[in-house]
Amino acid sequence: MTRNLSEMNDNGEYPRAYVYRRIVSAKLFIDEHFGEKIDLDNISDEAFFSKFHFIRIFTNCYNKTPHQYLSFVRIEKAKLLLKTGMPAALACYAVGFESVSSFTGLFKRVTGQTPSAFRITHGERSASIAREPLKFIPNCFAEKNGWRKVGQ
């Protein structure tokens, strides 16, 4: 973990741009490696900060702790996988969770549905869109394009 001393200003501090570049680098690390077994040590090392300093700066920048952001990314990626019809257990492991029960609990807390219910609901919605696509298009847009007559 080496620091570029040429980046320091006269007060021995790093300019904000340098600090933000390091924090963004850590965020991108999370975005790219969310499915792997990563922890605060891995992420803070990516930013070249101590864990506690890193948590403070990251939270100030993103309004989430690094752990909260990692969980957020994993849940968002899991939602995408569940929408493809992937079973909940496979989605859990694919996005980096090690326990189906903790994944299910967090997923339900965040989305209001269990992963399986989310997958079923999305499947039903997709089938409904395939059957009646005009139900999902605003009337004004459908009328403008001649897909539906005015007042229908």
The model's pLDDT over 103-119, given as tens digits with 9 standing for 90+, comes to: 999 999 999 999 999 99
The model's pLDDT over 20-34, given as tens digits with 9 standing for 90+, comes to: 888 899 999 999 999
Main-chain phi, psi angles of 10, to 5 degrees:
-65, -25
- In this structure, of 61-70, 102-111, 141-150, the range with the lowest mean pLDDT score is 141-150
Residue 55 sits at the vertex; the CA angle it makes with 52 and 56, to the nearest 5 degrees, is 90
Task: State whether the Cα torsion 110-111-114-119 is positive or negative.
Answer: negative
Fold of 73-152: Arc Repressor Mutant, subunit A (1.10.10)
Give the contacts of 145 (CB within 8 A, at least 6 positions apart): none
Q: 47 or 151, which is more confident? A: 47
Task: State whether the Cα torsion 77-102-108-70 is positive or negative.
Answer: negative
Task: State whether the Cα torsion 125-130-132-136 is positive or negative.
Answer: positive
Rounded distance between C-alpha atoms, residue 66 and residue 27, angstroms: 8
| pTM, to two decimals | 0.77
Q: Where in the chain is the domain with CATH 1.10.10.60?
A: 73-152
Mean of the per-residue pLDDT values of the chain? 85
Question: Residue 15 CB: number of other CB atoms within 10 A?
Answer: 11
Q: 36 or 140, which is more confident? A: 36
Rounded distance between C-alpha atoms, residue 106 and residue 44, angstroms: 24
